[in-house]
Chains A and B, each alone.
Chain A
Amino acid sequence: DAGVIQSPRHEVTEMGQEVTLRCKPISGHNSLFWYRQTMMRGLELLIYFNNNVPIDDSGMPEDRFSAKMPNASFSTLKIQPSEPRDSAVYFCASSLSDALDYNEQFFGPGTRLTVL
């Protein structure tokens, strides 16, 4: 079985440019999570979707960040304009959620973003 797929694995861009990170969840999963990992703040939940609907975006740092999930098999996290402090590893995770209890989240390999 293919796990969570993220692309690109590495992204280097210049300050001010738009960055789009992509995620394909595990087939059949109905919840999708975007996390950011930095040395200073550790692993933070940015936003999560359930059945393609954003449920909690309180972790999104500012308006420069936006996330979409147009269908059950694809999600994007966009940063526009990017800044050096956005440099981090961004993880996508998915789970089969019944909204009644915890369901294991499966993580993708991450996208390492460097903003110069």
Chain B
Amino acid sequence: AQSVTQLDSQVPVFEEAPVELRCNYSSSVSVYLFWYVQYPNQGLQLLLKYLSGSTLVKGINGFEAEFNKSQTSFHLRKPSVHISDTAEYFCAVWGRSTDKLIFGTGTRLQVFP
């Protein structure tokens, strides 16, 4: 069975500081990996996705993530955050065997001035 673990429920950070949101997955088969962002009172928006190819994936709003198969991780990074990045971030995995998108529990990023 596939699962996703987001190790940090909350990450506080000051504006312009770098940030890393951690995500680990478990699966016995090849998977696709995603990061979604949810701004307050809104739906989920796709930030970036890894399907195949280069393990470093660049997304919107200056975010990037690196797929590490040996460590089964897909951590999200941004070198310099803005106040507007304050939101909930969800890591998700999809596998062909289940045809379902499985979400982690989310990490709330709080950016302080």
Contact = CB atoms under 8 A, between A and B. Distances in A.
Contacts of B41: 109
B51 interface: yes
Interface in A42-98: 42-43, 45, 48, 55-56, 91, 93
Given A101-B96, A102-B32, A102-B51, A45 B44 contact: no
B106 A43 contact: yes
18 contacts: A4-B43, A33-B101, A42-B103, A42-B106, A43-B90, A45-B100, A45-B101, A45-B102, A48-B100, A56-B99, A56-B100, A93-B44, A99-B99, A101-B96, A102-B51, A102-B94, A107-B36, A107-B44
The 4 closest A-B pairs by CB, nearest first: A107-B43, A43-B103, A42-B105, A107-B44
Interface of A: 4, 33, 42-43, 45, 48, 55-56, 91, 93, 99, 101-102, 104-105, 107-110
